């Protein structure tokens, strides 16, 4: 019986782990052999589990090489989930995708981003509230910054006329992969 206790306790506290493992092996969803022509798209739109799930579902077979959940936009090195959830690190729960721009465009990914969440609710998506759930686009080049502003204007005038978009458009800084158990979370745990 005593040997079962540590396993039971580890399951109970699992959502609050502070693992610093940075990579996923091929069996856990990590992409292999990504060409140099690939680009990154980094967005925040609430809880990263759902964001990852929706992008993989819609673009997994259409030029998406990889999608990883993690943390960006804060001022603490190597933050863990528990720290980010306090709202004191400044990080957003985010998704960083690596994609083939010859198959899918950056603007298509951003248009989907604006259609799959409510960008008019500042620091909130549904019941999830806090700065870690903010809406943001983190660009990786001047061209991406320009496209992000263009698509945001289109979203405001065509899709979100009744509310002001609060999405931040910021230069991508340091990215931190979330803990391994967060990667492909809704794929592994369909009930959430």
Q: In this structure, what DSSP letter does residue 54 have?
A: H
Q: Which residues are catalytic?
A: 47
Does the pLDDT of residue 110 top 90, yes or no? yes
Confidence of residue 33 (pLDDT cuts 50, 70, 90): confident
> In the prediction, which pLDDT does 22 show?
33
Q: 113-152, pLDDT tens digit by residue?
A: 999 999 999 998 888 899 999 999 999 999 999 999 999 9
Does the pLDDT of residue 81 top 80, yes or no? yes
Contact criterion met (CB below 8 Å) for 6 and 69: no
> In the prediction, which pLDDT does 6 show?
41
Confidence of residue 32 (pLDDT cuts 50, 70, 90): low
Q: Where do we find the tokens 């979330």?
A: 178
- Give the CA dihedral 114, 106, 139, 187, nearest 10 degrees: 70
Beta-bridge partner residues of 125: 128
Question: How many CB atoms neighbour CB 154 within 10 A?
Answer: 15
Minimal CA–CA distance to 124: which of 83, 93, 151? 93
Q: Which two tokens stand for residue 81?
A: 């989930």
% of residues, the chain, pLDDT over 90: 72
Q: Where do we find the tokens 């079962």?
A: 4
Minimal CA–CA distance to 154: which of 140, 75, 181, 146? 146
């Amino acid at each position: 019986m005593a040997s079962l206790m540590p396993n039971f306790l580890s399951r109970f506290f699992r959502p609050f782990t502070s693992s610093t493992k940075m990579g996923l092996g091929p069996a856990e969803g990590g992409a292999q052999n990504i060409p140099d022509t690939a680009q990154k798209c980094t967005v925040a739109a609430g809880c990263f589990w759902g964001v990852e799930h929706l992008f993989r579902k819609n673009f997994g077979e259409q030029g998406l090489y990889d999608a990883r959940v993690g943390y960006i936009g804060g001022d603490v090195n190597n933050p863990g989930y528990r720290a980010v959830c306090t709202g004191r690190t400044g990080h957003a729960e985010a998704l960083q995708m690596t994609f083939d721009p010859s198959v899918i465009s950056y603007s298509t990914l951003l248009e989907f981003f604006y259609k799959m969440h409510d960008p008019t609710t500042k620091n909130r998506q549904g019941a999830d509230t806090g700065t870690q759930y903010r809406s943001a686009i983190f660009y990786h080049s001047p061209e991406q910054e320009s496209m992000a502003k263009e698509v945001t204007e289109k979203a405001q005038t065509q899709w979100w006329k009744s509310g002001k978009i609060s999405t931040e458009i910021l230069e991508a800084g340091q990215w931190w992969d979330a803990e391994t158990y967060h990667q492909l979370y809704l794929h592994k745990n369909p009930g959430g």
